């Protein structure tokens, strides 16, 4: 899936458009750029909220926890790229995060022109330069609780399509189940099951819009053994059925 395991191992640079899309809290090793081509997007990065409008860009550093939600309507372009593509920048700022993650660019980014590693590096370093000129940076500070939460979210990212429960997470990470349950709810303001369902349904939305997989295949690919449960959770989160969602513009 498009946010899965991004370091990025197979591809150093990846881009794709998304329309009227939401994605729950997650993180990855890759840098991420979110371009708003039209509409509005609420982006949360390390618990700081930004309202992005047309031609705004969110520059998310590797391992910053973030989520985004469409406000009424949004058309965005996501670029995920490996830190190694901007090696000098990465080495200089790997222990820091921006105090302001949002930039404003005039005009639309034409990702079709970024078809070689040279054009990609040139473009990305230009964005890095804009960020350095735009904001100051703060040293990364992570508590032991935050580090544990990162481990849980990474486990979900890698295993959401399989039998993924908080008990399997606790066993896989060798943490006490009750400790993880309380910690997760405290830091995420929702329980683990609700988060997992939001994550799975977000992945399902992407598959429905960007592949020809049947609804049954989408449900199975996103970790649902029961189609009834998939349909119920999908409608609860999106206020429509998977079939209706696929038909939406």
| Structural domains in the chain, sorted by start | 13-139 (2.60.120.810), 144-247 (1.10.10.60)
Write the pLDDT tens digit of every residue in 211-243: 999 999 999 999 999 999 999 999 999 999 999
Give the pLDDT score at 8.
46
pLDDT at 7: 45
Contact 22, 69 (CB under 8 A): yes
pLDDT of residue 106: 81
- Per-residue confidence (pLDDT) for residue 44, from 0 to 100: 96
Q: For the chain, list residues with pLDDT below 70.
A: 1-10, 249
Closest CA to 243 of 225, 227, 226: 227
- Which residues are CB-contacts of 164 (< 8 A; sequence separation ≥ 6)? 155, 156, 196, 223
Separation between Cα atoms, residue 71 and residue 41, nearest integer Å = 6
CB 82 within 8 A of CB 13: yes
């Amino acid at each position: 899936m498009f946010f899965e395991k991004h370091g990025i191992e197979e591809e150093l640079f990846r881009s794709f458009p998304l329309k009227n899309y939401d994605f729950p809290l997650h993180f990855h090793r890759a840098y991420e750029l979110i371009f708003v081509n039209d509409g509005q997007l609420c982006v949360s990065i390390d618990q700081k909220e930004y309202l992005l409008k047309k031609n705004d860009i969110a520059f998310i550093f590797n391992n910053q926890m973030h989520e985004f939600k469409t406000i009424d309507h949004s058309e965005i372009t996501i670029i995920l790229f490996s830190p190694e593509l901007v090696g000098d920048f990465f080495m200089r700022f790997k222990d820091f995060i921006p105090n302001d993650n949002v930039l404003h660019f005039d005009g639309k980014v034409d990702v079709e022109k970024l078809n070689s590693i040279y054009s990609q590096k040139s473009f990305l370093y230009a964005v890095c330069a804009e960020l350095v000129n735009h904001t100051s940076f703060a040293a990364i500070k992570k508590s032991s609780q935050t580090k544990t939460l990162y481990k849980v979210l990474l486990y979900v990212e890698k295993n959401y399509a399989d039998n993924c429960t908080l008990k399997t997470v606790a066993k896989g990470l060798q943490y006490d189940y009750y400790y993880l349950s309380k910690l997760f709810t405290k830091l995420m303001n929702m329980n683990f099951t609700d988060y997992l369902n939001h994550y799975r349904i977000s992945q399902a939305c992407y598959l429905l819009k960007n592949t020809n997989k049947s609804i049954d295949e989408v449900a199975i690919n996103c970790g649902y053994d029961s189609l009834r449960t998939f349909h119920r959770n999908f409608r609860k989160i999106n206020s429509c059925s998977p079939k209706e969602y696929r038909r939406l513009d």
